[in-house]
Structure 1
Amino acid sequence: MKPALICLLLFLAACNSAPKQEALSGDYPIQPVNFTKVHFNDEFWAPRLQKHEEVTLAYTLDQCDSTKRILNFEIAAGRKTGKFNTVYPFDDSDVYKIVEGASYALQVKANPALDARLDSLIDLFGDAAEDDGYLYTNRTIDPVNTHPWAGHERWELCYDNSHELYNMGHFYEAAVAHYLATGKRSMLDLAIKNADLICNDFGPGKIERIPGHQVIEMGLAKLYRITGDPKYLKEAQFFLDLRGGDPKDQYRQNDIKVVDQRKAVGHAVRAGYMYSGMADVAALTGNQAYITAIDSIWEDVVRGKIYVTGGIGATGNNEGFAEPYALPNYSAYCETCASIANVFWNHRLFLLHGHAKYIDVLERTLYNALLSGLSLSGDRFFYPNVLEARRNRERSPWFSCACCPSNMARFLPSIPGYQYAVRNNELYVNLYIGGHAEIDLGDNTVQLDQSTRYPFDGRVNIAVTPARTGKFTLKLRIPGWAQNEAIASPLYWFDQAAAAPVTVSVNGKTVSYKVVDGYAVISRKWKEGDNVKVDMPMPVRRVFANEHVKSDLGRQAFQRGPLIYCFEGQDQPRPETIHYLVDKDAPAGTAFEKDLLNGVQTITVQGRFLEETESGPVETPATMKAIPYYAWANRGKDYMSVWVPYDKDYATALPAPSIASRSKVSASEGVRGNVEVVADRINPAGDESPYIHWWPKFGTREWLQYDFQEAARVSSVQVYWFDDSPNGGCRIPASWKLLYRKNGRWQEVPNPSGYSATKDAFDRVTFDPVTTDGLRLEMQLQEGVSAGVYEWVVE
């Protein structure tokens, strides 16, 4: 098999010593360059990949150990005794994904200790597998008392949340990665045995149930490539074509046949993996109906369902897509795994069509929504990636559902594989990152050496060194942002044209070029010593959203190059970033600050801080600083805003101080969110309003408390409950009451007017005036659901 085809197996997972395979008759018309042939040496990505190797891989594997994910395998293997130890039956998959990432890392740099650790884990997987290849620790440990999501029998609930097939999809991807990295068949043979079992059990006239979470389709396509056995490809297509059996199941993209789908719906990670699997099968079989479907779905996404950061999946209720233009900022979901899936999908679309617009989306996602998912330290993670925060967000060391940390562990070392691609004698330069590449192009070999400070600087130098002088075409991507296009749709746009066009020179002479499908096309006879320079001016750009995006009306975001910027509280004169206004024509400057957040290009702009005081409204001039979005939340919890108002009608002034806002706020154990938001004096207004909640505590008695700065006379309160019915898990409480503190003891306020509990409205209770230094709100949660609070006003 040609090296270019080998790399596709794992988005560039092959290496020079990879086992040889027979060529396949059909595949992507464009082939990515093997990522082991691409080595970064820049100041942006190279240190991140080093951090991944030194910190993230070891950290995530250690977390799998300390959270007893690996112990589950040891018990299933009979090496130890005990019960299933973790929360979810799909926790096995986290270990597989990290093995995949570690395998990628082994292909880049030898690491005997890591190699031995993987051998040990793979031996464990083999011992944990049942005789026929079935591997699912939850069932093997205790077949009688399985997790409720697992079902009593194999595959019984695979269409729902057992994730037996999902686990194996990640296992297959890891197995192929490990085989290509090391030449060892240990994990690959386990994968083949399991896949043979699934092919035997599932199919027409056999078990006909969809995978509840897509990914096995991509894994089976990789097994087909590595083995050449067509049954794996047929099985992938079987699972795809089986979807469409439940008109109510948009969540799993199971409401209509995949070939008839034209809109992105449901769970965003499931969707992105499915669209990627459809692309793989389409490339290998020539299935044009799949391509028509995913092309239409892509248009649906870029026209109204993607954030300016490149994140997808707006809502937490379904961890997925909402209606077009429903892109809230404070409650944005933008799961890290969904960003990775979005990169997978857009890369495959590029390989099918060769248009730069797909790499533009990939780049937007990669540098913003995706990179935000991992801390600069390499050991803290975001699950959702919001576009506005009010001291209520920080990265976590781990999650009970740890799909995002393990996904970051597997994805990062594969990034070099997205930089270049080839088709016949055409060489695509997709990403501008400093480093060295050796690329097979027809019967020639071409070395490319990039030097650049991208994404902070748009000047790129490329030394072109062919093994022998010859004619070929260099296709340099001219990013949409450098052509006055924020995105390939009317969803976002820039305020004005760039100050200067992109220039390209060869051997010091500026050349004219045609832009074809987003690429500057340069065809010539290349020789050793040739040099190409690309100069992409990087002015500060203001981004505006389509008027149908209600959350962004009257607001602007800032972009420079591929980077979206945000305003974080500690960089401003006052931390509450939601109360600033920046005029549309306010001048903006930029500077590189090497000692800030590992070195970032910042933007400064003049704004005004708006607040209400006892003597009236006040606007205070302020110099504001913006940092790249990916870098926020590396200095503790804080306010953060991507979109800032320019229109006063959409600006929010900081309300005048009140008894509540001056109080210390506390709550019963298990509360989620920043409790101070209940006293922020901002009336709730849909998805952009902050709240606290006690989910997943159901039917319990909870409390919320104000400790006043000093005793005050009060006679009424208003409460606005958080209720996300019908799809969410919070409802108005079954009952509630108000207590005040007297002589250090809590007692109910005298003569309350009544405790109504209403959705989407303030509930007000009056009582005989009391002088107190504190109030407590006690609530009894309904059975089976939780509760929350938007706002609590004291009068």
Structure 2
Amino acid sequence: MKKLLFLLLAFGGTSASAQMNDYPIQPVAFTKVTLVDKFWNSRIEINRTVTIPASFDRCKTTGRIKNFEMAAEGKGKFCTVYAFDDTDIYKTIEGASYSLAVHPDKQLDAYLDSLIAIVGKAQEKDGYLYTYRTIDPLHPGGAAGPERWVKENEQSHELYCAGHMYEGAAAHFMATGKRNFLNIALKNADLLVATFGPGKRAVAPGHEIVEMGLVRLYRITGKKEYLDLAKFFIDQRGKKPYNKKSKNVWENGTYYQDDKPVINQEEAEGHAVRAMYLYSGMADVAALTGDKEYLAAIDKIWDNMVGKKMYVQGSIGAVGDGERFGDNYELPNTTAYNETCAAIGSVFWNQRMFLLHGDAKYIDVLEKVLYNGLISGVGLDGKSFFYTNAMQIQEHFNHPDIERERSGWFVCSCCPTNIARLIPSVPGYIYGQNGKDVFVNLFISGTGSMLVNKKSLQITQQNNYPWDGGLAFIINPASAMDMNFKIRIPGWAQNQAVPSDLYSYQQPLNKKVVIKLNGQPVDYQIEKGYAVISKKWKKGDKVEMLLPMDVQRVVASDKLPNDAGRIALQRGPLMYAAEWKDNGGLASNIIIPKDAVFTSQFDAGLLNGVTVLKADVKAINIDADKQSISTETKTLTAIPYYAWANRGKGEMMVWFPEQVKYVDIISQ
């Protein structure tokens, strides 16, 4: 029974230790959701059969596994590039464990055990586990420094490696019930508890995630020292004597989110992935301790990010120099960085913000990221990736930070392994619950099972989202039950491109979202973005909702000069792009006049099946004499942004001018 309680807790249930504080809303675990969804099932299956095996293979061929073998033997030379390369194995184990939880595979299970045995042998007697140092502790690489932890707040990533280990170990334990990886993680965590804390060593982790990992271990074990240490690490930020007057982000501490105490921070700053993991860790600790100062801080930071530092397709981290947030409204298109890991971190954080506040705006952002700037990071083949996610690719413009085509792996391969662990967990973002309040956040076909006031309930979704706006929900309680059924009405269906004034629709969409109960229209109240239907539900009750799927022209705030006079295209939750392949070899020469009329059509044979947008537009052409230009009318074809760069290398655009104001002449 104890093991069962742990499993329920770890996959999103109620705490076995009956904690007084926790998230007011609890997610329904992905293990409690069975999908029949065309859009997501194929991605989860490709992740299981292609992405995860490819990731393990590349961990082997690149030497990441060999690093652990050499650490166990205490001889050799660290054979990969980065001090944090251990984490690629931990993240892939995490993703494989999630897959095992819903798709038993004896061969994969056995392989994980063999890999965990290699990891365990590399662990030092006191619990320390970091191959970059352990292989040759007297001569570690320069990122590590002469002693343990002395460069932790810079580039050693010792605690970052520990955090990913904890996440992977928790996932493996929850999926299999085995303690082989969990015991390795707990031994390491106990070393951290003995090393860091009041009256001991103090440090602000240079790359956050150990905080989230410690919370995971606390939830499994109930050992409060892990939660206390997570909070201790967060509270160390802002204590290092950086040069606060410097504009250099490394010298003033903002790159590490370390320029001031977290409770005084008001802007999303620094390295975007580190920031997302910090804010997620703060949300976890705030939920479990009731820390209201943490809550106030992350509320302000979220407003800043969504209102001033997020791209139209949900991506964050605009600046390549440091993979970081720039200044407010610094969102260039030609050099947009947009690391895939930052998109994944944004999903983690926005889910936690929803669990804290029960507001649909956080899921609006989560959905925008998930369907656009996140899955763009993995190719349709499941084994080619983007580290960065561009906003435009032009034939005449090349920049070292902008990827024009996908790669099978990277020297710093954090993004592919992060994808491997995120994709199988998607069903866990669909539902939330608080007492008799049941939240439907994402529209993904399948059946979710949960307990509402100790009664079993199943909700079956039937839809063809994101291509179609017709949604159906079949409610099947074990017996009649009182329930507040809360369906998110997406902001994009309520004249809101994003939950801020950073982007908006050029023309308001004045269509009321119709909801029917058992075939009859119902009047509903909207609370924090959710349509609320309260009644005594019986088996077979059916709720239907029709979302408008009009093509919308999105315009940017006048504080974003790079987007002035331009529009982006949105249909439902999807942002669209024009790619060279469909538009005569170019995409940067397209003008979309104000009177252009769009049509949408599903093409089952294109890019694994997508709805494409078409309209008659203008295109600028260079005449044959190379001394004059002309325009022609042509048919624009736009594809979902996430699907670009799956057919070779060429131009891509997200923002389109509505008219010509001037022409730059470039000669080569």
1:482 pairs with 2:493: yes
Contact in 1 for aligned 2:3/2:177 (Cα 8 Å): no
Cα distance between partner residues in 2 of 1:455 and 1:463: 19
Cα distance between partner residues in 1 of 2:186 and 2:56: 24
1:161 pairs with 2:173: no
TM-score (norm: length of structure 2): 0.95
Distance 1:285 1:514, change over 3 A: same
- Please, which of 54, 62, 70 is the counterpart of residue 67 of structure 1? 62
Quote the residue 1:434 is aligned against. 445
TM-fit CA distance, 1:612: 4.4
Distance 1:9 1:313, change over 3 A: farther
- SS, match of residue 454 in structure 1: coil
Quote the residue 2:603 is aligned against. 593
Gap runs ≥5 in structure 2: 245-251, 396-402
Letter paired with 2:466 = P
TM-fit CA distance, 1:126: 1.1
1:189 pairs with 2:200: no
1:639 pairs with 2:651: yes
Contact in 1 for aligned 2:437/2:484 (Cα 8 Å): yes
After superposition, what is the alpha-carbon deviation per residue over 1:200-259, rounded to whole angstroms, capped at 9, x for unaligned? 111122211111100000001111111111111110000000000233110000000001
Quote the residue 1:296 is aligned against. 300
- SS, match of residue 189 in structure 1: helix
- SS, match of residue 29 in structure 1: coil
Contact in 2 for aligned 1:2/1:23 (Cα 8 Å): no
Contact in 2 for aligned 1:98/1:409 (Cα 8 Å): yes
Letter paired with 2:48 = E
Cα distance between partner residues in 2 of 1:8 and 1:467: 20
TM-fit CA distance, 1:6: 6.2
Distance 1:13 1:148, change over 3 A: farther
After superposition, what is the alpha-carbon deviation per residue over 1:56-89, rounded to whole angstroms, capped at 9, x for unaligned? 11010100001010011111112x9532110011
Contact in 2 for aligned 1:473/1:521 (Cα 8 Å): yes
1:36 pairs with 2:31: yes
1:649 pairs with 2:667: no
After superposition, what is the alpha-carbon deviation per residue over 1:148-202, rounded to whole angstroms, capped at 9, x for unaligned? 1011111111111100000000001111111111111111111111111111111
Letter paired with 1:294 = I
TM-fit CA distance, 1:7: 7.7
TM-fit CA distance, 1:528: 0.7
TM-fit CA distance, 1:2: 11
- SS, match of residue 649 in structure 1: coil
Cα distance between partner residues in 2 of 1:628 and 1:7: 37
- SS, match of residue 237 in structure 1: helix
1:50 pairs with 2:60: no
- SS, match of residue 256 in structure 2: coil
After superposition, what is the alpha-carbon deviation per residue over 1:489-512, rounded to whole angstroms, capped at 9, x for unaligned? 110001222253211111111111
Distance 1:207 1:324, change over 3 A: same
Quote the residue 1:514 is aligned against. 525
- Please, which of 556, 565, 568 is the counterpart of residue 579 of structure 2? 568
1:451 pairs with 2:455: no
Query: Superposition RMSD on alpha carbons, in Å?
Result: 1.8
Quote the residue 2:248 is aligned against. none
Letter paired with 2:630 = V
Contact in 1 for aligned 2:235/2:262 (Cα 8 Å): yes
TM-fit CA distance, 1:548: 0.9
After superposition, what is the alpha-carbon deviation per residue over 1:456-475, rounded to whole angstroms, capped at 9, x for unaligned? 11101111100111111100
- Please, which of 498, 501, 512 is the counterpart of residue 501 of structure 1? 512
The structure richer in strand per residue is: 1
Contact in 1 for aligned 2:313/2:369 (Cα 8 Å): yes
Contact in 1 for aligned 2:9/2:16 (Cα 8 Å): no
Quote the residue 2:399 is aligned against. none
Cα distance between partner residues in 2 of 1:216 and 1:317: 24
Distance 1:2 1:282, change over 3 A: farther
- Please, which of 584, 587, 600 is the counterpart of residue 594 of structure 2? 584
Quote the residue 1:623 is aligned against. 635
Which aligned segments of 4 or more residues in structure 1 are displaced greater than 2 angstroms? 1-10, 20-23, 497-500, 611-617
Contact in 1 for aligned 2:12/2:26 (Cα 8 Å): no
1:319 pairs with 2:314: no
1:332 pairs with 2:370: no
Cα distance between partner residues in 1 of 2:7 and 2:333: 37
Quote the residue 2:282 is aligned against. 278
Contact in 2 for aligned 1:7/1:35 (Cα 8 Å): no
- SS, match of residue 26 in structure 1: coil
TM-fit CA distance, 1:8: 8.9
1:178 pairs with 2:211: no
- The one of the two structures with greater contact order (alpha-carbon pairs below 8 A, sep at least 6) is 2
TM-fit CA distance, 1:543: 0.3
Residue correspondence of structure 1 range 188-587 to structure 2 within 5 A:
188-245=182-239, 246=242, 247=244, 248-390=252-394, 393-498=404-509, 500-573=511-584, 575-587=585-597
Quote the residue 1:775 is aligned against. none
Contact in 2 for aligned 1:6/1:34 (Cα 8 Å): no
Cα distance between partner residues in 2 of 1:639 and 1:505: 44
Contact in 2 for aligned 1:13/1:36 (Cα 8 Å): no
Contact in 1 for aligned 2:515/2:544 (Cα 8 Å): yes
Cα distance between partner residues in 1 of 2:426 and 2:593: 38
Cα distance between partner residues in 2 of 1:467 and 1:445: 5
Cα distance between partner residues in 1 of 2:276 and 2:108: 30
Cα distance between partner residues in 1 of 2:622 and 2:651: 19
- SS, match of residue 238 in structure 1: helix
TM-score (norm: length of structure 1): 0.80
- SS, match of residue 396 in structure 1: coil
TM-fit CA distance, 1:29: 0.3
Cα distance between partner residues in 2 of 1:5 and 1:372: 37
Cα distance between partner residues in 2 of 1:8 and 1:485: 36
TM-fit CA distance, 1:5: 9.3
Quote the residue 1:145 is aligned against. 139
Letter paired with 2:430 = Q
Contact in 2 for aligned 1:251/1:265 (Cα 8 Å): yes
TM-fit CA distance, 1:147: 1.1
Cα distance between partner residues in 2 of 1:262 and 1:489: 16
Quote the residue 1:717 is aligned against. none
Cα distance between partner residues in 1 of 2:409 and 2:608: 23
Gap runs ≥5 in structure 1: 656-679, 682-792
Aligned length: 649
Contact in 1 for aligned 2:517/2:542 (Cα 8 Å): yes
Cα distance between partner residues in 2 of 1:176 and 1:281: 18
The structure richer in helix per residue is: 2
Contact in 1 for aligned 2:68/2:131 (Cα 8 Å): yes
Q: Percent identity?
A: 49
Cα distance between partner residues in 2 of 1:23 and 1:637: 54
TM-fit CA distance, 1:570: 1.0
Contact in 1 for aligned 2:12/2:28 (Cα 8 Å): no
Contact in 2 for aligned 1:311/1:365 (Cα 8 Å): yes
Cα distance between partner residues in 2 of 1:602 and 1:567: 10
Q: Which shifted more, 353-362 or 461-470?
A: 461-470
Contact in 1 for aligned 2:94/2:168 (Cα 8 Å): yes
Contact in 2 for aligned 1:8/1:32 (Cα 8 Å): no
- SS, match of residue 254 in structure 2: coil
